[in-house]
A and B are shown apart, each in its own frame.
Chain A
Amino acid sequence: MDCRVIKLDFPELIARNIVYLDSAASSLKPRSVIEAMRSFMESSYANVHRGVYSISMEASRAYEEAHEVVARFINAWSWDEVVFVKNTTEAVQLLTLLLAFNNIIGRGDEIIVTEADHHSNILPWIRIARIIGARVKLLPVDGNGIPRWELLEEMVSKKTKIITFSHASNVTGYVNDVRRIARIAHDIGALIAIDAAQSVPHMKIDVRELKVDFMAFSGHKMLGPTGIGVLWGRRDLMEKLEPPLGGGGTVKRVMLNGSGVSIEWEELPWRFESGTPPIIESIGLMEAIRYLERIGMDNVEQHEKKLTAYALKRLEELGDGIKILGPRDASIKLGIVAFNVRNVDPSMVGLWLDQHGIAVRTGLHCAHILHDKLGAPNGSVRVSFYIYNCLEDVDKLESSVEELLKTIKKETRSSL
């Protein structure tokens, strides 16, 4: 793959002439995704599963095809295991409700999450646990923010109903060994769910090989639009569950039954997609996946590992004015590097880099506990790569940070 050629597919990169290093927050959109959504809205848009007129049936078919494309991308067993939601956060919320509503987790049960997780995979579990009387146990991390999985077997018990964690950290980029953890979970009869928001866009994901039961991810981090995410669940589990959120599209029939109402739920996945779903967004996500498939996910991952290794090297060369957070081995990470400039607030570094035409993320990245554990309670500067980044983007980052260090050093010398 040639990142310089790929850059040309992204109109925002051309229009703004920036170095975009914030894809872990949200990716830019290729022209083909923008065009697919525009074309669909111009000529094929109607609500789905509602009308018998031809445009509605075409839209329904396209919407169903989007489920098929996603299912194939993650090697799901069946297209109807794919539930479209708003984003990863909503997917996790829906999962917590599904499990609580169907009494799969209840009073006295235990849920294991990790200190490395994004708030999206901590707060929904804490919230549901408080409501149903369950308990959330946080697996600690080490000094590099890596979950201490060696402690897992001590933490689990027959009360453990689910083990859930981020496949790849949104702060350190560290990739957890899902298969190993799935084995432990399944050995004790617990379920395993992963927040794959940072992994699905950047590496080949095979849910069968990973042996997970549920997985959540977002469209907007993988070249697709905002407003669409995925909750994937194993069909044999999903088909037994009643939806916690009722509404249009979730039922086959609602009838008066004596003094009550009887409900016959729709088939998978519609019973979990209440109300008018993200139709236009699904067209964008489908095109985004096709774009990534043309490049090949192995190529995406290799390219980003190369950028990550180079960024780690260049930042380390800047000396002790820079503190890199998390592991420094690119082979165990995805394309994310978090760092701090000594004695400078991360958001001020972000503003400095913005003045140099570089977009990065600064702050706590919705991972407060992890930042505390990493000794960075004020947050960090996070750079994250994607297919449209090249080695020269890293060079520009390094030279801008170096200029900042020289500026600060001058100040220190003059104040002595």
Chain B
Amino acid sequence: MGVIVVERRIELTKEAWKTCTDKPSAKLMVTLEEASPGDIIVIVGEEDFAPSPMVMKIVSRWSTEIIDFNSDGYNYVLKVRKL
């Protein structure tokens, strides 16, 4: 039997920000807290909303490893694994 990998997706974009209580940053924090070891977290972000180096530093505060990063300078996709 293979291992089931759970993938969790987070959007750190202006579009994802809908109301004053719907904060992408809070979702990121909760997702990082609640993810189990082995879970993949896919972060889709905008550099002028949540700059990727900032997000990488925040993510590194949890036990994680970066497994992929793609950016066109404006938008990026960051994949991390919870350890």
In the complex, chain A residues 353-388 whose Cβ is within 8 Å of any chain B Cβ? 354-355, 362-364, 366, 368, 378-379
Is B52 touching A347 in the complex (CB atoms < 8 A)?
Answer: no
0/1 string, A318-349, CB within 8 A of B gives 1? 00000000000000000000000001110110
Residue of B nearest to A342 (CB): B48
Is B29 touching A351 in the complex (CB atoms < 8 A)?
Answer: yes
Q: Which of A1-9, A67-75, A220-228, A404-412 contacts B (4 or more CB under 8 A)?
A: A404-412
Contact A408/B25 with A351-B58, A415-B73 known, Cβ cut-off 8 Å: no
**Closest A-B pairs by Cβ, 6 of them:** A347-B25, A351-B25, A347-B23, A411-B53, A343-B48, A364-B20
- Chain A residues with CB under 8 Å of B48's CB are 343
A229 within 8 A of B: no
Residues on B facing A (Cβ under 8 Å): 12, 14, 17, 20-21, 23-26, 28-29, 47-55, 57-58, 61, 71, 73
Is B53 touching A368 in the complex (CB atoms < 8 A)?
Answer: no
Give which listed residue, A348, A355, A362, A379, contacts B50 with CB less than 8 A.
A348
Residue of B nearest to A356 (CB): B61
A284 within 8 A of B: no
Residues on A facing B (Cβ under 8 Å): 343-345, 347-348, 350-352, 354-355, 362-364, 366, 368, 378-379, 404, 407-408, 410-411, 415
Q: Complex formed: what's the CA distance from A379 to B20 in Å?
A: 8
Q: Complex formed: what's the CA distance from A205 to B71 in Å?
A: 55
Shortest C-beta distance, A374 to chain B (Å), equals: 15
Q: Complex formed: what's the CA distance from A404 to B51 in Å?
A: 10
Is B20 touching A368 in the complex (CB atoms < 8 A)?
Answer: yes
Q: Complex formed: what's the CA distance from A348 to B46 in Å?
A: 12
Is B73 touching A348 in the complex (CB atoms < 8 A)?
Answer: no
Is A378 touching B17 in the complex (CB atoms < 8 A)?
Answer: yes
Q: Complex formed: what's the CA distance from A352 to B51 in Å?
A: 11
Q: Complex formed: what's the CA distance from A345 to B47 in Å?
A: 10
Q: Complex formed: what's the CA distance from A345 to B71 in Å?
A: 19
- Chain B residues with CB under 8 Å of A364's CB are 20
Q: Complex formed: what's the CA distance from A135 to B28 in Å?
A: 43
